[in-house]
Amino acid sequence: MISNEFEQLLSIYEKAGGNKDAFSDKGIANLLIHGDKVLNVNDVEGVILKSEQKKDGVIAHLSVGKDVRVKNPIHLCFGILSREGRQEIGVNIFIEDGAEAEVLAHCVFPNAVKVLHKMDANIKIGNDAKFRYQERHYHGEFGGIKVIPNAKVSVGKESIYENIFSLLKGKVGFLDFNYEVNCSGRSITNMIAKIYGKGEDEIRIKEKVNLNGEGARSLIKTRVVLKDKARAEVIGETYGNAPYARGHVDCVEILNGKEALAKAIPIVSVKDEKAKVTHEAAIGSVDKKQMETLMARGLEEEEAIDTIVKGILR
C-alpha cells in the first residue's frame, strides 16, 4: 500500500513539474509525506531532516548547520491523493549562521473534493545566511480544498531570505496565506506569491514584513490573476522600524472575468525618519496596450490574454 502511494504521489509530483528522481538520490535531502504518513526521508551531510507523526499530520524539522552550503535543493513533498482528507504539517526550519540552502516544496492534491492542508511554519535564519523556500502547489480541478499556510520567519543580520509561493495549476479552492517576517540589520527579504484563481476560488493573502534592523530591505511582490467568479484579497504590510530600512510592496491583480473580484490593501508604515517604504498596486483588466500589441501581431483576444497572463505568473 505504502509503496503504491509512494509511486502515485511521485508520478503526480512529476506531472506538477517536480524531479521525482530527487527522492531516490542519496545526495539530495528529501522528505515525502502523504496525509499523516512519512513515505520517505533522507538527509545529507550538514542537513538534519527529521519528522514526527502527530494527529492528522506530521511535524518536520529541518536544520542546516553553521556555514554549511547545501549543494542540491532540499526536496519536500506533501500530498493527499484521495478525495477527502486532512493534513496538518508543522515545519520547523533552522538555518544556522553562514549556511546556504534552498528548499523546493511541492504540495499535491490532485483529486481533492474535501481536503484541508494546513501548514504552520517557524523559520529561523541565522546571520549571514542565505535561504530560499519555494513552494509550488498542484491542485486538481474540483476546487474542494482548503490551504492554510502560516509562517513566522526571522531573518538574521546580513542574511538573504526568499520565499516563492505559486499556485497555478488546477483550482485554488480556498487559500488563506499568512506570513510574517522579522528582518534584522542589512538583511534582504523577497516574498513572491503567484496565484491563478478560477471558478469559485477564494484567495486571501496576508504578508507582513517588519524591517527592524538598520538597512534591512524587503520586497513583497504579489501577482494574482482571477477568472470566472474567483475572488482575492491581498494585504501587503511593511513596517520600516529602523534607519535606512527600505521596503516595497508591489501587487498586481488581473481580472479576466466579469464576476471576478479583487482587492489589494497595501499597508506601509514608517517609524524611523530615515526609513522608506513604498507601494504600488494595479488592479484591473489586462493592460490594453499589451493586448493591442499582441493582437496587432495576429493573436486573438483570448490568445493575447493567455500570453500576457503566462508572463505575469511566471
Partner 1 sequence: MLKIENLTLKKDSRQILEKVNLTVEKGEIYALLGRNGTGKTTLAYAIMGCNDYQPNEGKIIFEGKEITHLSISKRAKLGITLAWQKPAGFEGLTVGEYLRCKNKNANVHSLLSVVGLSSDYLNRTVDDKLSGGERKRIELASVMAMKPKLAILDEIDSGIDAPSLPFIRKTIQKMRADGITVFLISHSEATLNISDRASLIGAGRILKTASPKIVKEFFVKHCKKCSHLYKINWERIKYDF
Site of interaction with partner 1 (CB under 8 A): 252, 287-290, 292-301, 307-308, 310-314
User: Shortest Cβ distance from residue 134 to partner 1 (Å)?
Assistant: 16
Residue nearer to partner 1 on the CB measure, 258 or 314 = 314
Residue nearer to partner 1 on the CB measure, 113 or 312 = 312
Residue nearer to partner 1 on the CB measure, 45 or 292 = 292
Q: Are 78 and 87 in contact (CB under 8 A)?
A: yes
DSSP letters spanning 99-159: -EEEEEEEEEETT-SEEEEEEEEEEEE-TT-EEEEEEEEEE-SS--EEEEEEEEEEE-TT-
User: Shortest Cβ distance from residue 153 to partner 1 (Å)?
Assistant: 26
User: Shortest Cβ distance from residue 103 to partner 1 (Å)?
Assistant: 23
CA 233 to chain centre: 16
Residue nearer to partner 1 on the CB measure, 269 or 293 = 293
User: Shortest Cβ distance from residue 231 to partner 1 (Å)?
Assistant: 23
Residue nearer to partner 1 on the CB measure, 147 or 308 = 308
Question: How many whole angstroms separate alpha carbon 248 and alpha carbon 190?
Answer: 10
Measured N-to-C along each axis, helices 301-312 and 288-295 cross at an angle, to the nearest 10 degrees, of 120
User: Shortest Cβ distance from residue 67 to partner 1 (Å)?
Assistant: 33
Question: How many whole angstroms separate alpha carbon 248 and alpha carbon 216?
Answer: 12
Name the phi and psi angles at 49, rounded to 5.
-125, 115
Q: Are 173 and 200 in contact (CB under 8 A)?
A: no
β-partners of residue 188 are 160, 217
Residue nearer to partner 1 on the CB measure, 79 or 197 = 197
Residue nearer to partner 1 on the CB measure, 124 or 194 = 194
User: Shortest Cβ distance from residue 255 to partner 1 (Å)?
Assistant: 16
| Nine cell digits for residue 99 | 549556511
Which DSSP letter does residue 23 get? G
User: Shortest Cβ distance from residue 247 to partner 1 (Å)?
Assistant: 21
